[in-house]
Structure 1
Amino acid sequence: MFSFNKRIDDAYEAALTVKLGDTSKFVIMSDVHRGGGNWADDFAKNQVVYYAALKSYNRQGYTYIELGDGDELWKYKRFSEITTVHKDVFLLLEQFYKDNRIYFVYGNHDIKKKYKPGMLAGRYDEAMKTKVPLFPGAKIYESILLRYGAAGRALFLLHGHQADFLNDRLWRLARFLVRHVWGPMELFGLTNDPTSAARNNKVKEKVEKRLSGWTKETGTLMLAGHTHRPVFPEPGEGKYFNDGSCVHPYSITGIEISLGNITLVKWGQKTHEDGTVYVGKDIIAGPHRLTEYFT
């Protein structure tokens, strides 16, 4: 019999271990869903906000962890469609990669990277009419374990589709439905995808219950995405976090782990007194010392 806890256990055992200390600076974002620039590109409306946020994190020396569904490879068949439209974003991500300050975790919508990691090696440059390097030799992980100090003190990162049977074990069927059924129907305003954890509250709640249930059973801190709903418990009130998504209406959310603190943040467009528009950050929850959650 299929067990969601066993499925998450397997992801935990396969996790890449990354050292986390009091001088570390990480920003975790998921569900970016970079697309091809047309009606199906949910990311397009937040491209400027996302670019400004990452530019700020790059200046400050953060390591960027993309926690799954970075690229929308269910609605779009070719990665080149996405890199061409969002060239500036990928050039910025390339800076993180050259400095060894980026990790890629796959989700259900970009699970293709698991089977074809070489697709990230290059992008097509229209001006040069040839393929140029992007993330040569990039590795794609199912999960990451941010190990803090002593053994047993760690934050487990995964996309979260592991707690969603259709979008995990039956992902090819789910992709077919998104690409050929629900996507076209949404275009005409007929329905929202009933299989999506991001758009169907019943599915969202089931996934959250399974993920948070695993943390209660194991006592392990977890940070996931997939549901697009930010979750940030107070110390002593839970061990399940969610970074939200980058396809909220005109804003993006993420979780910072910086200098021993953990914080849920939102980036969006703001207005100065003189009416000029800028991109700024708000703190939604925290900061709290990460050590407060290890008790």
Structure 2
Amino acid sequence: MISEKKLAEKRLTEAYNNAKIEYFDNNSKYIFFSDCHRGDSTPSDEFAKNQNTFLFALEFYFNNGYTYVEAGDGDELWESSNFKAIRLAHDEVYSLLKKFFDSNRLIMLYGNHNIYLKYKNFVKKNYYKFYDDYNQEDVELFPGITPYEAVVFKHKNTGQEILTVHGHQGDRMNDKLWHFTRLTVRYFWRYLHSIGFINPASPVRNAEKIHKIERIYSNWIEMNKIMVICGHTHRPHFPKVEELPYFNDGSCVRASGIQGIEIVDGKIMLIEWSIRYDPSGDLHIRKKILRGPKPIEEFDLRTNKTNIVK
């Protein structure tokens, strides 16, 4: 059997070779979130507690001209195959996502928990439109949307590339064996999950597995000289000095808040939105910069670099 290291190298290279190309420059603005795991409002719906924080943050990014990149596992389709229930549970979220879509500022990737989005018929049936029971008519949601496994962000002037994937590529139980893992989640771990137990196939709260994934991805980065942004492990990561450019945008299901990665003014930063109190006891949603900002060009590993056109 092929090792997970070799499997990840193969899968990441395949994802890179088949990726959508998104050109950007120093005037571009992106916010990357992943691992929302939007559920159906049952006790296992981890996103529900952070929905208001997410809405507040996303409204900020929409009003300030950002493109929203959802880097996989936006919808929890392993625990619930009924997307209608998920959409109804988080109707305001989808209304806001539609505003991004209608403004041509939504890039959606699929991960292991919403891998059904790789199937065009599933996307067409569930995401193009929905039936409004109250008004008894079809309403457009994301007509014609194409979710991707990978997107390569390529700088218009320097040619520097950033590979964005969910991060499950090469994680055998969540990649090649996802059919089996999905069944265990839907019919067993979902119920234990609601009372605090974690599926052992998941890297979440499994430090050994998280570090293994980070090492494997860093090895691919070193071999290919390409920066990577991903999610999957739920562990936010911004490389220290001398570390390889492996970035992880965290998740939207932590009790502390939601983490993400911003690219703006040619710089990258790791951020967190959370609920905080002021001296009077009032609660406010605030953004905190956890790491950065750092110029993206600092993470360009190529030996032959193109100078930025002034």
Q: TM range, normalised to the smaller chain?
A: over 0.9
CA contact (8 A) 2:44 2:193 kept: no
1:188 CA displacement = 4.7
What is residue 145 of structure 1 aligned with on the other side? 152
Q: Which residue of 1 aligns with 2:253?
A: 247
TM-score normalised by the chain length of structure 2: 0.91
Report the counterpart of residue 214 of structure 1 in structure 2.
Answer: 220
CA offsets 1:107-134 (integer angstroms, 9 cap, x no match): 0000011112212112343432443110
Q: Which amino acid in 1 is paired with 2:268? A: I
Instruction: Please give the per-residue CA displacement for 1:187-245, whole angstroms capped at 9, x wherever unaligned.
Output: 455x4211101232222222222111111121110011000000101353221110000
2:183 maps to which of 154, 176, 183: 176
Change (3 A) 1:211 1:137: same
User: What is the rounded CA distance, in whole Å, between the counterparts of 2:283 and 2:103 in structure 1?
Assistant: 31
1:76-133: per-residue Cα shift (whole Å, max 9, x none)? 1111111101001110110000000010000000001111221211234343244311
Gaps of 5+ in 1: none
1:197 matched to 2:203: yes
User: Hey, what's the Cα distance between the residues in 2 that align with 1:124 and 1:39?
Assistant: 26
Match of 1:225 in 2: 231
Corresponding residue number in structure 2 for 1:22: 26
Over 4 Å off, 4+ runs = none
SS at match of 2:198: coil
Indicate if the aligned counterparts of 1:31 and 1:246 stay in contact, CA closer than 8 A.
yes
Give the alignment's Cα RMSD to 1 decimal.
Answer: 1.5
Deviations 1:107-162 (A, max 9, x none): 00000111122121123434324431100000110000000135651111000100
Q: Distance in 1 between matches of 2:145 and 2:35?
A: 19
Match of 1:288 among 284, 294, 299: 294
Question: 1:182·1:192 contact (CA, 8 Å) conserved in 2?
Answer: yes
TM-score, normalised on structure 1? 0.95
- The alignment covers a number of residue pairs equal to 294
Structure 2 residues not aligned, in runs of 5+: 302-310
Letter of the aligned partner of 1:278 in structure 2? H
- Select between 280-289 and 3-12 the one with higher mean Cα deviation: 3-12
Name the structure 2 match of 1:155.
Answer: 162
Partner amino acid for 2:183? Answer: F
User: 1:160 touches 1:224 (CA, 8 Å); kept in 2?
Assistant: yes
Map residues 1-295 of structure 1 onto 2, 5 A cutoff: 2=2, 3=6, 4-115=8-119, 116-118=122-124, 119-150=126-157, 152-189=159-196, 191-295=197-301
Percent identical among aligned pairs is: 39
* Residues 86/28 of structure 1: CA separation in 2 closer, same or farther (3 Å cut): same
Query: Partner of 2:286: helix, strand, or coil?
Result: strand
